[in-house]
Chain A
Amino acid sequence: MTSNLQLPKIAYPGKLICPQYSTENKDGEDVIFNYACGPGTKLLQYEHNGTSLEAITATLIGTVRCEEVNNTDDEEEELEVADQSTEEEKSVDASSSEVVKRVVKVIRVSVVPGTEDDRRTSKDTNNDFANNLPKEGDIVLTRVTRLSLQRANVEILAVEDKPSPIDSGVGSNGVGIIAAGGGSGAATFSVSQASSDLGETFRGIIRSQDVRSTDRDRVKVIDCFKPGDIVRAQVLSLGDGTNYYLTTARNDLGVVFARAANGAGGLMYATDWQMMTSPATGVTEKRKCAKPF
């Protein structure tokens, strides 16, 4: 059981899903449910009979999903602070009533497009790029458009929805679809529908310092990328008005697809982290390759 409230199954924009908090007394233990906004929801103020209330409201049409969040470090800190304040309150009224143990559960409420069945059976690429815009820390697939001595300019083609585990192993997530290269299909992508010819895609920059994590001031951009390469990169920051700032300074980041002879030759395969070989001609070229598996 994730919550003591009966949440609606289906939501549409403006549908109230739940309050921010609810409490329950279970086996002499106070359980506080703290509902957090996930994708497709927003915390909004409502006036009701002269009092102002806050409620989690749906902003998309779809099915409501709620999952318990195991606190990450920074969230835990926040909670500790909150805990201290409740501690104080408790000590104040401890004189009047006996101390009860409190458990805080954080539950993320989100609205996912489509019906429950759709999601379970669908193997299609998610084309909901609109609600998966690149944000800090996301893994993106990009295409190199332009090179200079200081940086590589790229355009963002897709954003990975679910971060795949570092080993990309099928075993770790159990039910994945096995990808062509033998890795897992754990990563799903939100593919940008914008036209690159019309210049509507989101653009990014990989600075030469961000290409690799060692020897970073001696990077030659031309030995790492070529125009047309498909590069897996991570978003460092939203950057300026035009460009996202990206990095490939990790083993699993870098060129994933490239063609020999500036695009005239065939597809090449990574032989080590800075070399790619075309199996047809045997020619090798320099790239900063992503670890394939």
Chain B
Amino acid sequence: MNVQDRRRLLGPAAAKPMAFSYTTVDAVEKTVTNTPPKDGEGEEVLSLHTGFIENCNGSALVEARNSRHQTSLITAVYGPRSIRGSFTSQGTISIQLKNGLLEKYNTNELKEVGSFLMGIFNSVVNLGRYPKSGIDIFVYLTYDKELQNETLDEELQSKKLFSQISSLIPHCITSITLALADAGIEIVDMAAAGEANGTVVSFIKNGEEIVGLWKDEGDHEDILECISACKEHYKRYRDLMISCLLEQNNLDAKSA
């Protein structure tokens, strides 16, 4: 607060900047792991953290790794803050995805995913509570890499590369949901999604309602099979998110 704002009159002379006492929780590794990574098509290991960025309202870091693929993405939520322009009785959400270290995806692809995610979160966030406000969500794809695997042949590798963005979407949804919950923004349910053969299905309400469906190249003869596979992932991710959030907020999980 040393920088004097010379353009406008400030408050009372004796006013001090308000100091908030944050409960400084040490950066404890809130790693929630189900099982150690198995070989081959093993289980995915997921690590979730929330609330580590100071200057935004809510943040989340999701790191996922299985034997073939490693992803890490950071989400920051800003708002609700005022928007200019015409009156809106509901809040407005904007979601932006950004490439991290590796310029892997082109802008159009990321925009498309962004608008798909916006569709999901328009029905997940309790927008009626935020009139005249905007909620801005930024997803930063820090790290996203295929792990070298000798057993996979070249052809299969390139095929996998092709359908990568769809394998990323479930993690985007997990991380946005966590960041929104961390920001204290009202959401009707913990949204999560699963991916199967390039199809991403996002659920709420214990898998009874679908809030988003994304289809990419990949063989999906039986859509119902895809949905039930995605639902399995959804349930796993949701349970992990809830246990992570309760732990983060020092709330006892056993009475929940």
Binding site for B on A (CB under 8 A): 8-15, 40, 42, 44, 46-47, 57, 59-63, 113-115, 124-125, 127-128, 130-131, 133, 135, 143, 145, 191, 193-194, 197, 199-203, 226-228, 230, 238-242, 257-259, 262-263, 266-267
The smallest beta-carbon distance between A154 and chain B, in angstroms, is: 13
Given contacts A12-B246, A57-B188, A60-B184, contact A133 B80 (CB under 8 A): yes
Contact status B246-A61, CB under 8 Å:
yes
A124-B189 Cα distance, complex, nearest whole Å: 29
Which of B85-93, B101-109, B224-232 lines the interface with chain A?
Answer: B85-93
Given contacts A59-B186, A201-B82, A267-B12, contact A241 B87 (CB under 8 A): yes
Q: Which single member of A115, A128, A199 contacts B251 (CB below 8 Å)?
A: A115
Known: A10-B253, A13-B190, A240-B87. 5 other contacts (CB 8 A): A14-B189, A59-B126, A59-B186, A201-B81, A228-B10
Which residues does chain A contribute within 8 Å of B9, judged by CB atoms? 226-228, 259, 262-263
Q: How many of chain B's residues have a CB under 8 angstroms from any CB in A?
A: 51
Q: Which single member of A128, A133, A263 contacts B130 (CB below 8 Å)?
A: A133
By beta carbon, the residue of chain A nearest B253 is A10
Contact status B84-A242, CB under 8 Å:
yes
Contact status B256-A12, CB under 8 Å:
yes
Tell me what chain B mostly uses at the interface: helix, strand, loop, or mixed.
Answer: loop
Which of B14-22, B35-43, B193-201, B212-220 lines the interface with chain A?
Answer: B14-22
Tell me what chain A mostly uses at the interface: helix, strand, loop, or mixed.
Answer: loop
Which residues does chain B contribute within 8 Å of A61, judged by CB atoms? 181, 184, 245-246, 249, 251
Given contacts A57-B189, A241-B132, contact A10 B12 (CB under 8 A): no
Which residues does chain A contribute within 8 Å of B245, judged by CB atoms? 12, 61
Contact status A10-B252, CB under 8 Å:
yes
Contact status A9-B186, CB under 8 Å:
no
